[in-house]
Amino acid sequence: MSQPISVSHEMDLAWRYASGEAMERFCAGLTDGRIEALRCAACGLRYLPPRPFCGDCRARLTEWVAVGDEGKLEAWTEVQVPMLDAGTGRPRATPFAIGLVRLEGADTTLNHFLAETGAGRLRVGARVRARWRSERAGTMADIECFEVIG
Protein backbone atom coordinates (compact mmCIF):
# COMPACT_ATOMS: atom_id res chain seq x y z
CA MET A 1 0.00 0.00 0.00
CA SER A 2 1.36 3.43 -0.85
CA GLN A 3 1.96 6.03 1.83
CA PRO A 4 -1.16 7.98 2.75
CA ILE A 5 -1.07 11.69 1.98
CA SER A 6 -2.09 13.70 4.95
CA VAL A 7 -3.28 17.29 5.08
CA SER A 8 -2.84 18.98 8.42
CA HIS A 9 -4.80 21.81 9.94
CA GLU A 10 -4.20 23.82 13.07
CA MET A 11 -7.22 25.23 14.81
CA ASP A 12 -6.87 28.59 16.48
CA LEU A 13 -10.34 29.69 17.41
CA ALA A 14 -11.72 31.79 20.23
CA TRP A 15 -15.19 31.95 21.73
CA ARG A 16 -16.77 34.59 23.98
CA TYR A 17 -18.87 32.74 26.51
CA ALA A 18 -21.53 34.60 28.46
CA SER A 19 -21.50 33.49 32.08
CA GLY A 20 -25.13 34.07 32.80
CA GLU A 21 -26.34 36.02 35.84
CA ALA A 22 -26.01 33.17 38.30
CA MET A 23 -22.45 32.32 37.38
CA GLU A 24 -21.55 36.00 37.24
CA ARG A 25 -22.54 36.42 40.89
CA PHE A 26 -20.83 33.16 41.84
CA CYS A 27 -17.57 34.29 40.23
CA ALA A 28 -17.76 37.69 41.90
CA GLY A 29 -18.07 35.83 45.18
CA LEU A 30 -14.94 33.81 44.45
CA THR A 31 -12.93 37.02 44.29
CA ASP A 32 -13.99 37.61 47.89
CA GLY A 33 -13.24 34.03 48.90
CA ARG A 34 -16.96 33.30 49.08
CA ILE A 35 -18.94 30.39 47.67
CA GLU A 36 -22.69 30.61 47.07
CA ALA A 37 -25.21 28.15 45.65
CA LEU A 38 -28.74 28.51 44.32
CA ARG A 39 -31.44 26.61 46.18
CA CYS A 40 -34.56 25.25 44.52
CA ALA A 41 -37.65 26.43 46.40
CA ALA A 42 -39.53 23.32 45.32
CA CYS A 43 -37.14 20.46 46.09
CA GLY A 44 -34.59 22.19 48.31
CA LEU A 45 -31.60 21.09 46.22
CA ARG A 46 -28.68 23.50 46.55
CA TYR A 47 -26.93 23.70 43.20
CA LEU A 48 -23.28 24.21 42.41
CA PRO A 49 -22.65 25.53 39.88
CA PRO A 50 -25.49 27.99 40.32
CA ARG A 51 -27.65 28.06 37.22
CA PRO A 52 -30.98 29.49 36.02
CA PHE A 53 -33.18 26.41 36.38
CA CYS A 54 -33.82 23.28 38.45
CA GLY A 55 -33.99 20.45 35.93
CA ASP A 56 -35.99 18.17 38.21
CA CYS A 57 -38.67 20.65 39.25
CA ARG A 58 -38.59 22.67 36.04
CA ALA A 59 -38.55 25.88 38.03
CA ARG A 60 -36.38 28.97 38.05
CA LEU A 61 -33.79 29.19 40.82
CA THR A 62 -33.75 32.44 42.75
CA GLU A 63 -32.74 31.71 46.35
CA TRP A 64 -29.05 32.19 47.10
CA VAL A 65 -27.50 30.30 50.00
CA ALA A 66 -24.04 30.46 51.52
CA VAL A 67 -21.78 27.45 51.10
CA GLY A 68 -18.76 26.70 53.25
CA ASP A 69 -15.34 26.09 51.75
CA GLU A 70 -14.96 22.86 53.70
CA GLY A 71 -16.63 19.58 53.07
CA LYS A 72 -16.36 15.89 52.49
CA LEU A 73 -14.37 14.08 49.82
CA GLU A 74 -16.96 11.90 48.06
CA ALA A 75 -14.60 10.47 45.46
CA TRP A 76 -10.97 10.81 44.48
CA THR A 77 -8.51 9.56 41.91
CA GLU A 78 -4.89 10.03 41.00
CA VAL A 79 -4.34 10.40 37.27
CA GLN A 80 -1.10 8.89 35.95
CA VAL A 81 -1.36 9.74 32.28
CA PRO A 82 -0.78 13.22 30.84
CA MET A 83 -4.13 14.90 30.22
CA LEU A 84 -4.49 18.04 28.16
CA ASP A 85 -4.72 21.09 30.40
CA ALA A 86 -7.33 23.33 28.82
CA GLY A 87 -5.75 26.40 30.36
CA THR A 88 -2.21 25.98 29.06
CA GLY A 89 -2.86 23.78 26.05
CA ARG A 90 -0.14 21.46 27.28
CA PRO A 91 -0.24 18.13 29.09
CA ARG A 92 -0.64 18.38 32.81
CA ALA A 93 2.24 17.11 34.94
CA THR A 94 1.55 13.69 36.42
CA PRO A 95 0.55 12.32 38.76
CA PHE A 96 -2.19 14.73 39.75
CA ALA A 97 -5.17 14.08 41.98
CA ILE A 98 -8.76 15.21 41.53
CA GLY A 99 -11.80 14.66 43.65
CA LEU A 100 -15.51 15.25 44.04
CA VAL A 101 -16.09 17.46 47.06
CA ARG A 102 -19.42 17.93 48.78
CA LEU A 103 -19.10 21.32 50.39
CA GLU A 104 -21.13 22.08 53.51
CA GLY A 105 -24.28 23.80 52.34
CA ALA A 106 -24.40 22.34 48.82
CA ASP A 107 -26.09 19.21 47.53
CA THR A 108 -24.11 18.70 44.33
CA THR A 109 -20.42 17.88 44.33
CA LEU A 110 -17.64 20.02 43.00
CA ASN A 111 -14.88 18.62 40.81
CA HIS A 112 -11.43 20.01 41.70
CA PHE A 113 -7.76 19.24 42.22
CA LEU A 114 -6.54 17.68 45.47
CA ALA A 115 -3.31 18.74 47.13
CA GLU A 116 -2.20 15.28 48.12
CA THR A 117 -1.35 12.42 45.90
CA GLY A 118 -1.10 8.88 47.11
CA ALA A 119 -3.77 6.72 48.68
CA GLY A 120 -2.44 7.37 52.15
CA ARG A 121 -4.27 10.59 52.84
CA LEU A 122 -6.91 10.42 50.14
CA ARG A 123 -9.96 8.42 51.14
CA VAL A 124 -13.70 8.70 50.62
CA GLY A 125 -15.12 10.55 53.59
CA ALA A 126 -12.05 12.61 54.35
CA ARG A 127 -12.66 16.20 55.40
CA VAL A 128 -11.22 18.69 52.95
CA ARG A 129 -10.87 22.44 52.77
CA ALA A 130 -10.32 24.79 49.85
CA ARG A 131 -6.86 26.25 49.47
CA TRP A 132 -7.50 29.74 48.15
CA ARG A 133 -4.99 31.65 46.08
CA SER A 134 -3.87 34.98 47.51
CA GLU A 135 -4.50 36.73 44.19
CA ARG A 136 -7.99 35.99 42.92
CA ALA A 137 -9.58 36.79 39.57
CA GLY A 138 -13.14 35.53 39.95
CA THR A 139 -12.63 32.07 38.43
CA MET A 140 -12.66 28.52 39.73
CA ALA A 141 -8.87 28.66 39.62
CA ASP A 142 -9.08 31.07 42.60
CA ILE A 143 -9.25 27.82 44.51
CA GLU A 144 -5.92 26.18 43.86
CA CYS A 145 -7.01 22.81 45.18
CA PHE A 146 -8.57 21.09 48.17
CA GLU A 147 -6.49 19.89 51.13
CA VAL A 148 -7.29 17.00 53.41
CA ILE A 149 -7.76 18.30 56.92
CA GLY A 150 -9.04 15.23 58.72
Give contact residues for other proteins (rule: CB under 8 A): 1, 4, 7, 9, 11, 13-21, 23, 27, 47-49, 51-56, 58, 60, 74-81, 83-84, 86-87, 96, 98-100, 102, 108-113, 119, 124, 139-141
Q: Across the chain, how many H-helices and E-strands are there?
A: 1, 10
Closest separation in Å from C-beta 101 to other proteins: 9
Closest separation in Å from C-beta 74 to other proteins: 6
| Closest to other proteins by CB, 70 or 74 | 74
Closest separation in Å from C-beta 137 to other proteins: 12
**Three-state DSSP class for residue 97:** strand
| Closest to other proteins by CB, 66 or 137 | 137
Residue 35, Cβ density class (10 Å: 0-12 exposed, 13-18 middle, ≥19 buried): buried
Return d(Cα 113, Cα 76) in angstroms, integer.
9
Closest separation in Å from C-beta 20 to other proteins: 3
Closest separation in Å from C-beta 15 to other proteins: 3
Sheet holding 63-67, edge to edge: 46-47, 35-39, 63-67
DSSP 13: -
| Closest to other proteins by CB, 4 or 150 | 4
| Closest to other proteins by CB, 21 or 32 | 21
| Closest to other proteins by CB, 28 or 66 | 28
Interior/surface letters 95-122, b for 16+ CB within 10 angstroms, e for the rest: ebbbbbbbbebbbebbebebebbeeeeb
